[in-house]
Amino acid sequence: MNTLVSIIVPCYKQAHFLNESLQSVIGQTYTRWECVIVNDGSPDNAESIAQQWCEKDSRFSYLYKENGGLPSARNAGIKKCKGEFIVALDSDDILHRDFLIQLVPQLQSDDNLGIVSCYRYFFSKNKENIINKYKATGSTYQDLMFENKLMPSSIYRKKCWEEVGGYDESMVKGFEDWEFWLNITKRGWKFKFVEAFLFYYRKAKKSMLVDTLNNHAESNMEYMFKKHKELYTAYFDNTAEVLFYYIKTHRVGKMEIKNSREYKIGKLITKPFKIISKLFSIQK
């Protein structure tokens, strides 16, 4: 149980959550860790908060960099760290006090494992306010091709990060962790889940994940499919099934909107304006 674990905490516009996140680090029952707080050019008071924690405990260290996005912030922190195992903790999320002491032994006891995750809670405002629970299964890249089952703060070997060349820094619009896990596991590394709720994921109305799902999901998936096309062509039938499912879902959604009462009323209201606009364009 003497393996050094490096916890990387990038922060950008999340200083108001940072104390709670770092408190969950210092409260770990597994004590052989270091924590690198990465200020990704944040315009708030992230630096002063980070410095306070560095003064409180020598296991904390601080790194400032120009804003470059979450993948580059994680890579910068990992380049500085010394641990054999890595945890990338987002600055608004919280670790259960037994997170490390339960996950670290899994990597220590099985050389085929590259990544270990756990069950997670979704919470709002405070970690006692649980709004959802997530359990997952799987062990190989096939289980990750069409769904990211692993949470961003899963623990993994630094050796895996080195093998894939780190997080893809072009993926600034999200899914960088999903691509990272797929890139690791397609090389033969296995993953597993500890069957316990040891992680708290903050559910916010405005977050990077919400923005990704609403605005960038399709382009991110297209990038992943092309980057790892040898996997998706090898499983062509599954890939086609997933893509046509998304096409059907999109078409059905558009039909439901068009058939809704609100849409029809909106069309009636705007129709006179469209006619007037058309007449003006003809006169010109």
d(CA 252, CA 137): 30
Number of H helices, E strands in the chain: 11, 9
The maximal CA–CA distance of the chain, rounded, in angstroms, is 82
- What pLDDT is stored for residue 217 in this prediction? 82
Better pLDDT: 212 or 225: 225
Q: What is the mean pLDDT of residues 12-29?
A: 97
Q: Is the pLDDT of residue 12 over 60?
A: yes
Quote the pLDDT of residue 244. 76
Instruction: Give the distance from CA 183 to its chain's centroid.
Output: 15
CA pair distance 107, 81, nearest whole angstrom: 18
Beta bridge partners, 85, equal: 5, 157
Residue 91 φ then ψ, to 5°: -75, -5
Task: Give me the mean pLDDT over the 24-37 stretch.
Answer: 98
The better pLDDT of the pair 94, 262 is held by 94
pLDDT of 187 > 90? The answer is yes
* Spatial distance between the Cα atoms of 146 and 236, rounded to a whole number of angstroms: 12
**Residue type for position 245:** Y
- Asked whether the predicted pLDDT for residue 248 surpasses 90, the reply is no
Residue with the bigger pLDDT between 62 and 209: it is 62
**Helices 46-56 & 15-26 angle (0-180, nearest 10):** 20
280 pLDDT above the threshold of 70: no
pLDDT, the chain, mean: 88
Q: What is the pLDDT of residue 256?
A: 57
One-letter amino acid of 36: V
pLDDT of res. 210: 55
- Name the band, by pLDDT with cuts 50, 70 and 90, for residue 91: very high
The continuous run of DSSP H or E covering 131 comes out as strand 126-134
How is the chain split into domains, by residue range? Answer: 5-205, 238-283
CATH architecture of 5-205: Alpha-Beta Complex (3.90)
Contacts of 191 (CB under 8 A, 6+ apart): 113, 114, 115, 116, 117, 138, 139, 140, 150, 154, 181, 185
